[in-house]
Structure 1
Amino acid sequence: MKFADLTAGIPYAKDPAVVRYQGRYLLYYSRGPFIDGRWGIGIAESTDLENWAKIGEVPIEQACEAKGICAPGAIVLQERVHLFYQTYGNFPKDAICHAVSEDGQTFTKNQANPIFAPSGDWNNGRAIDADVLVHDHQLWLYFATRDPKGDIQMQGVATAPLESDYGRDSWTQRCTESILKPELDWEGKCIEAAAMHKRDGKLYMFYAGAYNNEPQQIGCAISQDGIRWERMFQQPLLPSGQPGSWNESESGHPFFFEDEDGRTYLFFQGNNDRGKTWYLSKVEIGWAEGIPYLVE
């Protein structure tokens, strides 16, 4: 699989999120700022997870979205698609927004948008790269933020009641410091794009280490409670490609997807020209006694 948005004549798609909904697969992704200078969110569909066709976009409608939106996270709850995405272009003021759809294409925005940004003196108030999962009868929202100087990108988490409207008053921040920040050499100054999965009572976070094209590569951490995390590997689970390959510059920004047949996949972004173009792809993830591995 290699997919890119060609709306502006430049192959460009980042930050994948995938759901199966009403008999088809839907892919939400960031499309580049080549149309009106603003990042946006595209929508594509597939019947086989391999071949994708663009079918629309999430419109930029609210005042907080005026400079652009991107980096969607998606989940199906109560037979509706919920999208958690970020504003763009307001750097320390960028925050997480929420929208819901009954057809996967037409979204109603939460009137409280933006619905979440972190508090505390350990971060700079920014929240991006949202992903959510259901755990302990709550919706857990994982996000990336930065240290007060805006230098180090790291992970935080908040929760909301499942029966809530996921508005601004629904969320409780569950950390007073980063739950996962860069420590390994290959992670550089950045851990972002948490891709969440729950399996046999344990939580898994596939994450992007290092900023784009440094190269960004994908690691994995595990947790019992969703707050305290331990790395499973010292090296990337999914590294950037070899010289000359399509993803030589990076394999980054993962999204974890479990299909109805139980097979699991990691969607990710890559390129070989240091970000002039971007493509989305996927790898299948296998499991051996709770340890994820790449299926060859």
Structure 2
Amino acid sequence: MKRIFMAIGITLLLLAVPAAIVLSATNSVWNKYNGNPIMFYGPPAGWDDFSIYSTEVMYWDHNDADPSNDEFYMWYSGTSYNLNEKNIGFATSEDGMTWTKYEGNPVLIVSNFGEWDHDRINAPSVLYDYDDNTWKMWYAGVSIYNGGYAIGYATSPDGRNWTKYGDRWVFDSSGYADTFDGYSVLSPEVIKKDGKFHMWYAGNGGIASNQIGYAISEDGIHWDRVSDEPVLRVGPEGAWDEGETVSPAIIVDQQKTIHMWYQGSDGTKSFTGIGHATSTDGVNWQKDGANPLMLGENLGAWDAERVFYPTVAEDASGRRYLWYHARRENMDTIPFKLGLAFYDFEFEPTPTPTPLPGVTPPPPPVDPVIPADGETCRQGSNACLFLPTVRR
């Protein structure tokens, strides 16, 4: 049987700390790859030419004698300049560092005007269901900018060609103003365990801006909330995560302990980091005493601010990888890029070989600049696209 190691989406906004970041009191660390960033937005006029973010990565074991044939699969959100919308793309990698975007991207797009998810779709959560040999995706969608999100569902025979389920979402806000998810539900993370689908999601409503809830389904379509209350609440006044807990990311270890990584923000939202919590039942969570676990780098670094949406996967040997998105400044006109960290590794996988002497590798993309006249140009390019409003 093939093995899939699920991955995760989370959001971070970070401050200056060393590259090796303490994960817990056991001195396990996340070591950032010194070749970061490893993936960029696409070329001008492309579907993802402004920013890439909100990924889901899994390790796919092809179940043959040569483990080098195994791959990492990634589904990610991309933002377009000219369309000013967000769709979902697909990429593959042999080592988790060097990624090839699928030529047929985007693989899941917004619906027609007037439908529930026509403005943007993002935050994919993907698994392969061995019971019916089908790839399944849950994603957040919204019909109007700054509107309330709902969660949609799609299926695929190959992870690349997707069909949305009907013309409606499968999970919506509660609709009650006094509940934590009364206005919006987003950032789903779904696993299949003991024959049922388990979803942790961010809910928006009530006093706190986002807190994490939990729902269960027999078929991945019809969902029941386990509780009307969040299962991972914001911290107490003065805590690093008193403002929100959002973007859950789940892995179940061999001891059946459920691990969650999540984004937390302070009360002013000026500080955002990533935390970790564990549970044995998915409802009662213990936050890590070392939280927050990962922060940004020094001012001026590519990931100095707005490090977010990490996704975690394990390879066949149990080594754990974390991908995250970041940008150098917390401005809507600054694009996100993809970085990588290794969990407690004693070595780093070998990246793509260095080009031979005399062969000049292509330079990384240059971040766009936003002139005052409302045009958006990429430095070093003749392409210039009108962009009246840039939205994250």
Looking at structure 2, the residues matched to 28 and 156 of structure 1 have their Cα atoms a distance apart, in angstroms, of 16
| Aligned counterpart, 1:144 | 140
Aligned partner of 2:284 in structure 1 is 293
CA shift in 2, pair 1:244/1:89, >3 Å: farther
Q: What CA deviation, in whole Å up to 9, does each residue of 1:210-235 have, x standing for no partner?
A: 17x94210001110011111111110
- In the TM superposition, residue 61 of structure 1 has moved relative to its aligned partner by 4.8
Aligned to 1:64: 47
Residues 135-194 of structure 1: CA distance to partner in whole angstroms, max 9, x if unpaired?
Answer: 221111111001357612110010111xx2x33xx1111232111111142114210000
SS in 2 for 1:186: coil
1:233 corresponds in structure 2 to 227
Match of 2:76 among 85, 100, 103: 85
Distance in 2 between residues matched to 1:251 and 1:186, nearest whole Å = 11
d(CA) in 2 for partners of 1:251, 1:28: 13
TM-score (norm 2): 0.59
Check conservation: 2:60, 2:71, Cα contact below 8 A: yes
The 1:107/1:260 distance shift into structure 2, 3 A limit, reads: farther
Equivalent residue runs for 1:207-226 within 5 Å: 207-210=201-204, 214-226=208-220
- Find the counterpart in structure 2 of residue 264 from structure 1: 258
Match of 2:57 among 47, 50, 74: 74
1:1-296 matched pairs, under 5 angstroms: 50-55=28-33, 56-62=36-42, 63-78=46-61, 79-88=70-79, 93-119=85-111, 121-135=115-129, 136-147=132-143, 151-161=147-157, 164=158, 166-167=159-160, 170-183=161-174, 184=176, 185-210=179-204, 214-287=208-281, 292-295=283-286
Q: Which amino acid in 2 is paired with 1:126?
A: R
Q: Percent same amino acid at aligned positions?
A: 23
Deviation at 1:105, TM superposition (A): 1.4
Task: Tell me which moved more, 134-143 or 88-97.
Answer: 88-97
Q: Distance in 1 between matches of 2:11 and 2:80?
A: 14
Residues 233 and 30 of structure 1, relative CA distance in 2, 3 Å threshold: closer
Counterpart Cα distance in 1 of 2:13 and 2:80:
13
Cα deviation for residue 57 of structure 1 reads 2.6
Question: Structure 1: which 5+ residue stretches go unaligned?
Answer: 1-18, 35-43
User: Partner letter of residue 201 of structure 1?
Assistant: G
Equivalent residues of 2:91, 2:99 under 8 A apart: yes
Note the alpha carbon deviations across 1:115-146, whole angstroms, 9 max, x for none.
Answer: 10243623324210111112221111111001
**Which secondary structure state, in structure 2, belongs to the residue aligned with residue 64 of structure 1?**
coil
Deviation of 1:272 after TM superposition, in Å, equals 0.9
- Change beyond 3 A, Cα 1:208–1:27: closer
Question: Which structure's residues are more often strand, by fraction?
Answer: 1
TM-score for both structures, normalised by structure 1: 0.76
Question: After alignment, is 271-280 or 189-198 more displaced?
Answer: 271-280
**1:129, 1:194 within 8 Å by CA — same for their partners in 2?**
yes
For these two proteins, the number of residue pairs brought into alignment is: 256
Classify the secondary structure of the residue corresponding to 1:176: coil
> C-alpha displacement at 1:29, in angstroms?
6.2
The farther-off stretch of 119-128 and 101-110 is 119-128
SS in 1 for 2:47: helix
Larger RCO: 1 or 2 (CA < 8 Å, sep 6+): 2
Larger Rg: 2
